Each structure stands twice: as structure tokens, then as C-alpha cells.
Amino acid sequence: MNIEANVPQSRSESRPIVHKTPTQMLYWSIRRELWENKSIYIAPLIAAGIMLFGFVLSTIGLPHRRRALRLLGPAQPRGHIAKPYDMLAMALFVTAFIVAVFYCLDALHGERRDRSILFWKSLPVSDLTTVLSKASIPLVVLPLLVFAIAVVAQVDMMLLSSAILMANDLPPATPDQLPLFQNWMTLLYGLIATALWHSPIYGWLLLVSGWARRATFLWAVFPLLAVSALERMAFGTTHFMAMLQYRMVGAMSEAFVSPPQRGSHGVMTHLTQINPAKFLTRPGLWVGLAFAAACLAAAVRLRRNREPI
């Protein structure tokens, strides 16, 4: 009689082994970043809340201002009505960039500082997946998050202002005066274009985060300032500093037919201004993406070899 055949298998032996795909590993790694870095979504929410609070205060005299605007031409009301919505979008733009910079500076450095890198390296997650998940935060997650927050906040602003105006026997803003859908599409395009344009900045910061033992901000900024100073002293030129400035603020001029200006139609309201063909054919975009890819590849090698601080 075969005794072994009658012995039930243990739970560990009968449980099927689930192998996660690389896409699933990347997804859960991104989820981990959101769990561990709540400022990624808290900071934009705070910025939106502050702007909404300011908008609520501004509605105190809204009916009187709207009556005065009706006496002007059709272009002036559109610019004044759209201005608070544009200010909210720009505030979220700036907040997202600040959050992205400080997140990248701490992304790889923080896990070495608190020695959690030992735990994460014990899991079946490759260094490539980990670095890509961290790079996805400023390049993908933050733009989409800011866009969603901006849409919800602007809808709240429109509903509040419409309710106040109708309560005072005034018509709410028309789609021509407040083209929210056009604003949202232009905002989404601007966020994506800016993230791609800033990719070498984020790649460089992640590389420094994986290399520096302390003072990551100084190590990220000092070499750039040193190169600029050496160029100025040796050649009397400022090409490197001009390149850095252009990389910081040049996304709008490259992604749009003309940089969105404050005027009768507000900021970022014209779908006709977007020009993806111009943006995608700029050498500066592809050079920046190649530099970002090189920085991420170096960051992967550094994480593979670096030990806790």
C-alpha cells in the first residue's frame, strides 16, 4: 500500500505560483511610490484648495463686476471671466514642477538613507522596474493628476459662479465666454509637452539622487553653475546658462504656435495654438529625451551597486 499517496499536500505545495508580468510589477511599483510619497497628490490638492478659497472670496462682488462687464465689448468679458480659471491652471503647473523636482531628488536617495533599499532589493523587482516607476511619477502620474484636479476644481468654480449669477438674475458664462473643454484639452497638451521637455531635468535629478550620499540639491545644482561660471570666465559667453534657461521655460514656445499670452482670451484657451508637429520635430526635444534615457540607465546601474548610506 502506498502511504505517501494518502498524505494530503500542504497548502504551500497546493497553492499555485502566480508570476506577475513586467507591466504588473511596474504598476504596483508606481502604487508603492504613491503610498510612500503622499505629497505627490497632497501638494496639488492644497494648491487647488487655496485657489478655490480665493475664488470663493472673489465671488462676493461677482454680480456687480459681471454687470459692469456686460457694458464692454465681447472680448473683454471673455478675458476677465477666464482669468481665474487660468490662474488655477498655472498654479497647479508650478506646484507640479516643484513637487516633481523634490520627489526626484529624494526618490533614490531616500531609500538608501532609511535603509529600506535592503528590503526592496529582497523582492523580485528589478532595478530597471524600480527606476522606471520613479521616473513615471513626474513624467506620467503628476501631469494626469494635475489635469484631473484642474478639471474638478474648474467645474466647481463654474457651478459656484453660475449659481451666484442666477441668484442675482444674471446669466451664467456662455461656452464662448468660458470654453472649458478647449481649456482642458489645451491644458492636457501643455502638461504632456512640458513633462517631455523637462524629462532631462528629471533624469538628471534621479541620477544625482542615486549617486549623492547627502545634500542632493547642492550636488544637482552646483555642477551646472560651475560649468556656467567656467564658460563665462574662459570664453566670455553664457551659452550653457542660456541652454539651461531654455530647458526650464522653453516648453510653451516649442509646443505652441506662439507662447500663450495673457490677453483678451486668457491663458491657454486656444486649441488653434497647439502645434504637436512643430514640437515633435524639434531637435531639442529628442536630444533631451536621449539625455534623460542615459541618466535613467546610469541610475539603474547605480541602484544595482549602491549600498545604504
For the stretch 34-47, pLDDT in tens is 999 999 999 999 99
Residue 2 placed within a domain: no
Helices 180-197 and 283-305, packing angle to 10 deg: 60
Mean pLDDT, residues 55-70: 79
Residue 8 placed within a domain: no
Number of domains observed in the structure of the chain:
1
For the stretch 241-257, pLDDT in tens is 999 999 998 888 888 88
Distance CA 34, CA 46 (A): 16
Residue 158 placed within a domain: yes
Residue 15 placed within a domain: no
Domain that holds residue 242: 21-305
Residue with more model confidence, 11 or 131: 131
Question: How many CA atoms lie less than 13 Å away from 26 in the CB half-sphere?
Answer: 13
Residue with more model confidence, 146 or 270: 146
With a cut of 50, say whether residue 10 has pLDDT above it. no
**Residue length, the chain?**
309
SS3 content of the chain, % helix, strand, coil (to 5): 75, 0, 25
Give the CA radius of gyration of the chain: 25
Residue 4 placed within a domain: no
**270: pLDDT confidence band, cut at 50, 70 and 90?**
low
Distance CA 153, CA 98 (A): 20
Residue 14 placed within a domain: no
Residue 258 placed within a domain: yes
Q: Which residues pair with 274 in a beta bridge?
A: 256
Residue 11 placed within a domain: no
For the stretch 170-212, pLDDT in tens is 888 777 778 888 889 999 999 999 999 999 999 999 999 999 9
Distance CA 143, CA 194 (A): 9
